[in-house]
Amino acid sequence: MREERFVKKSCQIIALAIVAALSSSLYAGERIGDFALIDNQGAQHHMAWYDDQNAVVILPQAVGATDQTALEALTALQAQYESQGVVFFLMNPGQQTDREAVTADVAALGSSLPVLMDDTQIISEAFGLTRLDEAVVFDPKSFEMLYRGPLNAQSEAAIQTLLDGEDAELIAVATDGQAIQYGGAGLDSVPSYTADIAPIVEQNCANCHREGGIAPFAMDSKLALQGWSPMIREVVMTKRMPPGQIDTKVSHRTANQMNLSDAEIQTLVRWINAGSPVDGGADPLAALTWPDTKWTLAAELGEPDMILKIPPQSIPATGVVDYMDLPIDLGLTEDRWVRASEVAPDKKEVLHHIITTVVPPGGAEDPQTAFIAAINSLPEERAAAIRAEMFAAIAAGEPPPIDKIFQENPDIDVGALLGGGDPDQGSIAGYAPGNSVSLNPEGVGGLLKAGTTLSLQMHYTTSGKEVTDETEIGIYFYPDGVVPEERMSGGVGNAFTIAIPAEAKDHEMQLVTYVKEEADIYSLMPHMHFRGKRMKFTARYPDGSEELILSVPAYDFNWQLSHELEEPLRVPAGTQIIAVGAFDNSSQNPANPDPAIEVNWGEQSWEEMFMGFYTWKNVDQGGDD
């Protein structure tokens, strides 16, 4: 037993020594580096976003072990300095990952501070934290750390130094609090390039980061990876890459999840911190080969049965390109059932998105007619009240309160109004970065009738170089005579009125979408523009209980991802999908075109939308989809 305790204690000392070695070179003027962490409530905090503040102070937290004296000192500093541009956080350095347990712990301690969840421990390592009573003070403008140690007069002096705009050397003061237990991949030995790093890159990065891929540089050799190591470390620590966006610790697991695991993050960052050493003779990344086809579905389904060539579009080097609505004749002379479809973008640098609408042979239903029909389908008491409200507005010379009607009557099927009224009608994939494939499960499909056409809403952005885009769409059909037994349906939530105040940092909105019949939910997709910040989807069941389905704490307009659940979520009839999201219209949003204006609804990227797209399959396929 004594030997076991000795070995355990020795391992702890070695681990702490490694952490100390990783941070031993820190001094004033050397950047810790930007980083982003999700807190215990599911909000993401990107440190660069706080560069309008003067200082950031962080104190470790651990369930049942938070240093009470240090927390009291932190609370006192917060009361004194928060109004002077100093931001305060607690941070769990990987001691626990259970958000609810952490939330309960800080509540019991009487604190309402957000707790940054450093599940991978790489941020705690960067700060050189070894004990739970050590706090850090750093500059969010330069990411320089000025102080690490107990919260006392010296920590207050470090804060004051930043408030005064002065330079100072790092002050590191030892403490005697409870030790932080470090662990995980790459801690006890430097990861191997061949055995550890190359497989992570192959599985998570190389498909985009290759010659001809969507990414701006290739990770196709050990030399390339060494050269890009500082960039890789930064984008991983700031959660910019991979671009999965979702909070994997609270969401239902997704099948197309583009996130690194905690162990993969630890392995990559600790390898880079060790100098990105390479080993072995053969280079696994240099040996990678890729299919000689533009269709990602080819590996599963072969080449498409039909390939639609979108007419070439000449895109200027600069300026604003108006939305294009292009009609495409499918040339179908007989009805066909669709299994899958895919967009193969040509000039990815300019093609922002394609929204594909299937137009039946008789033409699309008039939206106004569909809207009136949707109102008339409601219980007569509600329908009569809506009609009266609309007539009153028109009589007063005002536009009908469309958005108010949808907000108060979320059971109106917005998707049907946008052209999805026929339960048998098939759909064709659209395009946005990271989202170009529509694949039904075997036995599920939609019908394209003879004479069906497509309407493509094409959105291009200029890139500084004049190019011609020749994007294609591939369609996979079921064999002649095969009629799939089931249909995929879904819903759309859409805010028709948006008014985001100038400089609003977290303007919150909510959408409600009804699932009218018992159904299996397959995917969820948020949609906002440049100012989109976050979105969370919760199922509210008829009995009043709620379940979080998906959380996207760091929405990125550049990646319009449809998040496919690994296992479909069955929900009862009458379930509501509550989408809660927020916009950042402040100067702190680097993508914001103009933080000085109120932002309203509009199709262009500098305007805004607030939408949720859902696919589900009704359990009773004999019902009304």
pLDDT tens-digit series, residues 268-293: 999 999 999 999 889 999 999 988 88
Q: Does 124 fall in a domain?
A: yes
Q: What confidence tier does 497 reach under pLDDT thresholds 50, 70, 90?
A: confident
Is the pLDDT reported for residue 468 higher than 90? yes
Give me the mean pLDDT over the 20-26 stretch: 38
pLDDT tens-digit series, residues 211-222: 878 788 999 999
Q: Does 97 fall in a domain?
A: yes
Is the pLDDT reported for residue 367 higher than 80? no
> Cα angle at 554 between 552 and 556, to 5 degrees?
100
Residues 113 and 199 both lie in one domain:
no
Q: Enumerate residues 6+ apart whose C-beta is below 8 A from 504.
A: 583, 584, 585, 586
Q: Where are the beta strands (DSSP E) in 495-594?
A: 499-500, 507-515, 519-527, 532-540, 546-552, 563-571, 575-583
Is the pLDDT reported for residue 240 higher than 80? yes
CATH of the domain at 98: 3.40.30.10
The whole-number pLDDT of residue 4 equals 36
Q: Does 292 fall in a domain?
A: no
Tell me the helices (H) and strands (E) count for the chain, helix number first. 14, 28
Give me the percent of the chain exceeding a pLDDT of 90.
73
Average pLDDT of the chain, as a whole number:
89
Q: What confidence tier does 417 reach under pLDDT thresholds 50, 70, 90?
A: low
Give me the percent of the chain exceeding a pLDDT of 70.
92
Residues 80 and 228 both lie in one domain:
no
pLDDT tens-digit series, residues 227-239: 999 999 999 999 9
Residues 469 and 551 both lie in one domain:
no
pTM (predicted TM-score): 0.85
Residues 318 and 449 both lie in one domain:
yes
pLDDT tens-digit series, residues 137-176: 999 999 999 999 999 999 999 999 999 999 888 999 999 9
26-30, 294-298, 362-366, 367-371 — which one is most confidently predicted on average?
294-298
Residues 54 and 128 both lie in one domain:
yes
Contact 494, 511 (CB under 8 A): yes
Q: What is the DSSP string of 291-358?
A: -SSS-TTHHHH-S-SEEEEPPPEEE-SSS-PPPEEEEEE---SS-EEEEEEEEE-S-TTTEEEEEEEE
Residues 531 and 602 both lie in one domain:
yes
CATH of the domain at 447: 2.60.120
Alpha-carbon distance of 481 to 601, in angstroms, equals 45
Alpha-carbon distance of 498 to 459, in angstroms, equals 21
Give me the mean pLDDT over the 410-417 stretch: 66
Alpha-carbon distance of 182 to 200, in angstroms, equals 22
Instruction: Name the percent of the chain in helix, strand, coil, to the closest 5.
Output: 25, 25, 50
What is the number of domains present in the chain? 4
Identify the weakest region by mean pLDDT among 55-64, 397-406, 526-535. Answer: 397-406
Minimal CA–CA distance to 490: which of 612, 363, 343, 580? 612
The whole-number pLDDT of residue 155 equals 96
Alpha-carbon distance of 401 to 390, in angstroms, equals 7
Give me the mean pLDDT over the 32-55 stretch: 95
Residues 464 and 497 both lie in one domain:
no
The whole-number pLDDT of residue 551 equals 96
Give me the mean pLDDT over the 17-39 stretch: 60
Q: Give the domain extent around 523.
A: 488-625
Residues 246 and 168 both lie in one domain:
no
Q: What confidence tier does 8 reach under pLDDT thresholds 50, 70, 90?
A: very low
Alpha-carbon distance of 59 to 90, in angstroms, equals 5
Is the pLDDT reported for residue 508 higher than 90? yes
The whole-number pLDDT of residue 419 equals 55
Is the pLDDT reported for residue 26 higher than 50? no
27-36, 365-374, 496-505 — which one is most confidently predicted on average?
496-505
pLDDT tens-digit series, residues 316-329: 999 988 889 999 99
Minimal CA–CA distance to 459: which of 313, 307, 594, 309? 313
Give the residue, 391 or 58, on which the prediction is more confident: 58
Residues 512 and 585 both lie in one domain:
yes
Q: Does 556 fall in a domain?
A: yes
Q: What confidence tier does 123 reach under pLDDT thresholds 50, 70, 90?
A: very high
Residues 24 and 90 both lie in one domain:
yes
The whole-number pLDDT of residue 18 equals 38
Q: Please tell me whether residue 522 adopts helix, strand or coil conformation.
A: strand
Domain endpoint, select from 139, 172, 205: 172
Is the pLDDT reported for residue 121 higher than 80? yes
The whole-number pLDDT of residue 421 equals 59
Q: Does 370 fall in a domain?
A: no
The whole-number pLDDT of residue 441 equals 93
Q: What confidence tier does 383 reach under pLDDT thresholds 50, 70, 90?
A: confident
Q: Does 443 fall in a domain?
A: yes
* 589, amino acid identity: N
The whole-number pLDDT of residue 379 equals 84
The conformation of residue 557, written as its DSSP 8-state character, comes to T
What are the C-alpha distances in Å from 444 to residues 24, 330, 413, 454, 488?
59, 21, 22, 21, 7
Alpha-carbon distance of 64 to 59, in angstroms, equals 15
Q: What confidence tier does 364 reach under pLDDT thresholds 50, 70, 90?
A: low
Domain endpoint, select from 440, 455, 477: 477
Q: Give me the sign of the Cα torsion angle 8, 13, 16, 17.
A: negative
Q: Does 187 fall in a domain?
A: no
Is the pLDDT reported for residue 1 higher than 60? no
Domain endpoint, select from 257, 273, 289: 273
Is the pLDDT reported for residue 12 higher than 60? no
> Which residue is listed with tokens 């379940």?
547
What are the C-alpha distances in Å from 57 to residues 25, 36, 87, 602?
21, 15, 6, 40
Give me the mean pLDDT over the 559-588 stretch: 95
Q: How far from each other are the two terminal CA atoms of the chain, in whole angstroms?
A: 66
499-500 and 575-583: which strand pairing? unpaired
257 token code pair: 């999840």
Give me the mean pLDDT over the 130-135 stretch: 97
Q: Does 112 fall in a domain?
A: yes
Is the pLDDT reported for residue 434 higher than 70? yes
3-state secondary structure 201-257: HHHHCCCCCCCCCCCCCCCCCHHHHHHCHHHHHHHHHCCCCCCCCCCCCCCCCECCC
Residues 86 and 130 both lie in one domain:
yes
pLDDT tens-digit series, residues 330-345: 999 999 999 999 999 9
Residues 427 and 499 both lie in one domain:
no
Alpha-carbon distance of 228 to 233, in angstroms, equals 9
The whole-number pLDDT of residue 518 equals 97
